[in-house]
Structure 1
């Protein structure tokens, strides 16, 4: 009996073990079958991802790089045009350029070209085409008897109006000095050097209210003539400057429209009228400053309108360039008080030439020749600077992104080579232009302008 019970117990143990093994085999077999069933799905999924990546690559059409200098000059200034990448501070670069396309995983050539184009947009410098140089020379040639445009001919009267930004941002400091104080001192130096007989006017805008939303309506309707166009009186002009406090918004369009009223009695037939707009930013009042500038330019006042961007950001710079372009005027960015004074000195030089004209000293006027150190080679130096520094800044940004794992070494090499070729092209164009300009060295301003205009028109046809 005991033997029978032992045998039965042993049988039950064996049966349990066999059952467990059978269950495990079924589970393993099921997993194998499931894996086999999943394999086609995985292959399909990988194929779909591959097709998707190929489709995305095909959908990318990088914008072409400029092929002429005129195309280059037409590009808007980049939002990070003043950004200074530093290898020791990579986090700042990564934050500033975090919106660039992702090229961290085996990018195609198209994707790299697209990346470079987007990066270039963000740091785009303010290149100036031949038209900008022509405008500089035209302004310097005012009063030359060979210049046919009546706007640039001296008349019996010379009137200069400065339209000054008094918005809240002018209370910021630059070079250890409040921007408004720097502007006031520069303007005062300028008017103190004006020759007797020249008239000057001063208009401000954005000087009421504050830059708070609640004061926008008040501030955007504020523009005031602080010193009506008249002969310079030191005491009265100083008193007018002292009243100006930077507080509000930036109604550039309003100021330009009001300026037309200031000059209404000075028609262009008997007056040489010059307007200088000084601003440190974009119009914030939805007042269409470009159209306002066009209306002033095309009025019977026939003014020359030049624009100074004082420590201005990229957005403001692009709008101020548009204002200058709409009126065939000069745009100049100045970064501090010394540069602002230098720009205003150009009007002083012009006013002195006007006095020579009034005194019939025509021989002195006609002897004006183009000087290497003046506008032409100042223009060339500026273009060379832009090309060299833009190239270097892009190289640094690419290096920082590669070191931070945003691209591999092959991508960096490709982008560096593309960057080198592009900026070598810019410098070669500047070099060609420099050689052409050497031939104009002994020509009068009028002759130089005519030569450049013929060349420029031929290149743009």
Structure 2
């Protein structure tokens, strides 16, 4: 019995020891499983990176170029750095170490030169392409078209009532609200075009000056005093001269508050030393925001002067703003006109502000735009935009070449691979430059086409006017 009892106890002890041993083996299994999961995750990550790199679209069209994605390591690089005319010699400064590790991983997965080339675009492609290419791609030639009225639009009565003033003072609102869009175009750009057209036309009979307000500081409270106290004459009162006026308008940028009262007061102060008829022409997209009283200033401008008035166009204004602008025009013995969109602004400027008595002069003044300063200026803008794209390409090319040298120095690619990779980089740069040149030529042609359209419009109108005059003389 004692022997049997000992045997049973011995068996239980062995069983307990066996049970105790099992938990000791489980951690080893867990470690193996965890290592296996990590390996699988690394493989998935590597596969994911290669998949993303292989999906990189190499630009073959202008649209592809404009929609280029910035590199993962260069997406935060500034526009100025990415389009520098004289790029830094240290092309990989700040990202070389991180880039090398990424390229090491890629080179460890593939020795395909095409994929290595795509990895350069993926990691260090130029971040400025979307902005700089789209700027040229979306460019539209817009000339200040002539006012070519039909004879029935003019009567002797309207000619006498709307004679051109001897002096025209134009005031352009450049407050921050002019940065907003109407009909998909910035209000400031639309207003500039309308003002240029008007000045060119009225300038054939009147001396012209241009004042701007709201262009200083910003719309923030800290800049209110600066913005409200800055009213500048950018084109002094004189005979109209196209190049000077164009440059004066072109340099205006919308920024701050709306000192309408201050602008009218400035015109009053200047007018004290002037003789003859003076009309103040204001294009504004809002009411006073500088705590002034534009109604009182308009009254002072015309007080005791029958030959002075204030004409206002409210461009895309709400009811409250319109009511104030109407009251200002009324106080200034002038007229208020509303323009809700691009077409209304341009037509109102010409049809309501241009005196009908200028029709014969207009016919001579509005000659073909061919060979004019405006065309040359626009062509120059196209070349500047194309050059900026070329600068961006050169910056990217330098970075790619630097990366190829790093890969070779780190032993990630062979000399033969480096040679082939550099060939791909040069081919890429040449392709982008060809696309840029194609786009530049396309835009230059659009300018020529628009010039020819306007030229034909003027010639057709002139022929009809001559025919009508001939018929009336018979």
Give the TM-score range, shorter chain: 0.3 to 0.5
Compute the TM-score of the two structures, normalised by the length of structure 2: 0.41
Larger radius of gyration: 2
Higher helix share: 2
Normalising by structure 1, report the TM-score.
Answer: 0.42
